[in-house]
Amino acid sequence: MNYFQLFHLPAQFELDLAELGTRYLELQRNFHPDKFAAASERDRLMAVQQAANINDAYHSLKHPLLRAEHLLALRGLKISQEQRSFTDPAFLMQQMELRELLADIPHSKNPDELIDDAEQQISQQRKALLKQLRESLDMQQTEQDQRSADLVRKLKFFYKLEQELELIEQQLHD
């Protein structure tokens, strides 16, 4: 299913999230299962399925990584469930350093300072990678799609690091 077509949006990385939200609400109103309460069993099941499809599509288009994966899948490159390792030594070293920084936070005399440092580093890298991803996907060239896929893989690490940092913060403040 092409989520962009479902929402009548251009198949591109950069989206107007307010427009996406408006179209989501319109679609949900049109296919809400309550509207089909008096319909046949088949029509009720189809409405439930369509509502689920709308929810899945909205969730995917709203999140940059999932949106990029969907764009790449539409272009014939499916990476959503793959587990691939990296051979980029600079990226691997950066990941190791950030993981060490996160591991040091609970044992630090000043954890808030380390948290701020980690947040800044992770955020900078994530933003830089998102910018590169946007540019790469906008080229809509097959050779750029592989680069885009590698950028998505790298971004997954930074989103995971952000989640781990949030967990560490919660544990420290509990």
pLDDT of residue 110: 92
Claim: this prediction has a pTM higher than 0.75:
yes
Rg of the chain over all Cα atoms, to the nearest angstrom = 20
Number of domains observed in the structure of the chain: 2
- Is 103 found in the same domain as 49? no
Domain identity same for 113 and 52: no
> Same structural domain for residues 44 and 93?
no
Q: Band of the pLDDT at 2, cuts 50, 70, 90?
A: very high
Q: Is there a domain that residue 38 lies in? A: yes
Distance between CA 105 and CA 67 in Å, rounded? 32
Q: Check whether residue 48 and residue 97 sit in a common domain.
A: no
Note whether residue 156 is domain-resident.
yes
Q: What is the pLDDT of residue 95?
A: 92
CA distance from start to end of the chain:
43
In a domain, 71, yes or no: no
Q: What torsion, rounded to 10 degrees, do the Cα atoms 13, 19, 24, 26 define?
A: -150
Find the domain containing 128 and state its range.
89-173
Residues 100 and 140 grouped into a single domain: yes
Same domain for 95 and 164, yes or no, is: yes
Distance CA 126, CA 64 (A): 11
Task: State the pLDDT at residue 88.
Answer: 82
Which of 62, 77, 112 marks a domain boundary?
62
112 and 159 together in one domain: yes
Tell me if 115 sits within 8 A of 168, measured CB to CB.
yes
Cα(85)–Cα(62) distance, rounded to whole angstroms?
27
Residue-averaged pLDDT of the chain: 92
Q: 63's torsion region: left (phi>0), alpha (psi -120 to 50) or beta?
A: beta
**97 vs 95: CA distance, rounded Å:** 5
In this predicted model, what pLDDT tens digit does every residue of 137-165 receive, in sequence order?
998 888 889 999 999 999 999 999 999 99
Residue 14 lies inside a defined structural domain of this protein: yes
| Whether residues 96 and 165 fall in one domain | yes
21 and 95 co-located in one domain: no
Pair (167, 114) in one structural domain: yes
Q: What is the largest CA-CA distance in the chain?
A: 65
**Model confidence at 132, in pLDDT bands (50, 70, 90)?**
very high
Number of helices (H) and strands (E) in the chain: give both, helices first. 7, 0
Section 80-99 average pLDDT: 83
Residue 117 pLDDT more than 70? yes
9, 22, 26, 166 from 71: Cα distances, Å: 12, 21, 23, 29
Residue 72 lies in a domain: no
Q: What is the DSSP letter of 10?
A: -
Candidate from 14-28, 82-96, 116-130 with smallest mean pLDDT:
82-96
